[in-house]
Amino acid sequence: MILTVTLNTALDLTYRVPELVPHASHRVDEVTERPGGKGLNVARVLTALGHESVVTGFAGGRTGAVLRELLAPLAPVDALVPVAGSTRRTIAVVDAATGDTTQLNEPGPQITADEWEAFLTAYEPLLRQADAVALCGSLPPGVPVGAYADLVRRARAAGVPVLLDTSGEPLRRGLAARPDLIKPNADELARLTGSREPLRAARDARRRGAHAVVASLGPEGLVAVTPDGTWQATPPSPVRGNPTGAGDSAVAALLSSLVEDLPWPSRLTRAVALSAATVLAPVAGEFDAEAYEELLTQIRVTSTP
C-alpha cells in the first residue's frame, strides 16, 4: 500500500459562478464538497489508478467530521488522527466564463504537543506496512517546522521510499533529511534555491539532499533531475480549467510509477498526462479518465545533458 500524510487536511469547497466580478454579489450555480488537502487528493487519484492507499494526518471539529464522512465511501483507508481543533476549509471559485479559479485557503487547527505525539505513534506502524510514503502540504499551527525532516528520517530508517511535497522552511529542513524525491513547483523551487531557472534550481536542490527532483512548470509540464538522467516532459498544448489538485495528481503518478518500478521517462509521461487531465476535471482529487488515456500518447519527453 501507499501511505499519504496530510498534516493540514481540508474540506474542499468548489463554487461555480457564471462570471467572477470583483466587488459584486454572485449567484452560485453549483457547489461541491470533497475531503481535501494534498495527501488526500493524492490518495484518491492513487485509488483510481488501482493502488491501495491509506491516508493519515489530522482531522477535528465539525469540519473534520464532515471530511471523514465524505471520505468513508471512498476507497482510501482513513487513518486520520483526531484533534480538538477544527479542520480548515479551502474554497475554490470557478469562473465559468473564463475557466479561471480563485482559491481561498483557511489556516489549520492549532495542534498540541500531545496531538503531535499521538500522530508520531500512529505513523510508525503505518510505515511498516507501506511500499512508499508521500508527505504533503503545509504544516498546521503547533506542528514543529522540522516535522517533515523527522518524518523523512523515520521513513528512511524503515526502508520506505519517501516523496516530499511542501514549500518554504518545512521543505528546506526536510531536504536536509535526504528524501528520495521532492516535487516543488517552479516558484517553490526558486524560493528554495534563489534561482529562477528551473533546471539549474532543480540541480541545486538535488545537491542539497534530494535523491531526485521533479519540478512542476505549470502548463509547460515537468523537469526532472535524477540519478539516472535529466528530462523535461511537456504536454501537446496548454489546458484550461481548474488547476486545483493538478500537482497532487502528478505526485500520485510519480508514487504509483515508483512502486511499479517504471523508468523515469514513463514516470514523467504519466505525471504530465494525469496532471493535465486533472485540470480538465471539475474538482480536485478527480481527473478526466478519457483525456488521460489520450494524453499518455501525446506527452513529449526529452533528455537534457
* Nearest alpha-carbon partner for 134 in 269, 37, 226: 37
Integer Cα distance of 295 and 303 in angstroms: 19
For residues 75 and 285, the answer to whether their CB atoms sit within 8 Å is no
Contacts of 129 (CB under 8 A, 6+ apart): 1, 3, 54
Find the Cα–Cα–Cα–Cα dihedral 123, 140, 276, 216, rounded to 10°.
Answer: -90
- Taken as a whole, the chain contains a residue count of 305
Catalytic residue among 12, 165, 248, 288: 248
Task: Give me 147's grid cell.
Answer: 516535522
Reply yes or no on whether 248 is catalytic. yes
Strands 162-165 and 132-136, sheet pairing: parallel
Q: Which residue reads 531536504 in cell numbers?
A: 175
Task: Give me 109's grid cell.
Answer: 487547527
- Tell me the C-alpha to C-alpha distance, in Å, between residue 82 and each of 40, 57, 118, 142: 16, 9, 9, 15
Active site residues: 248
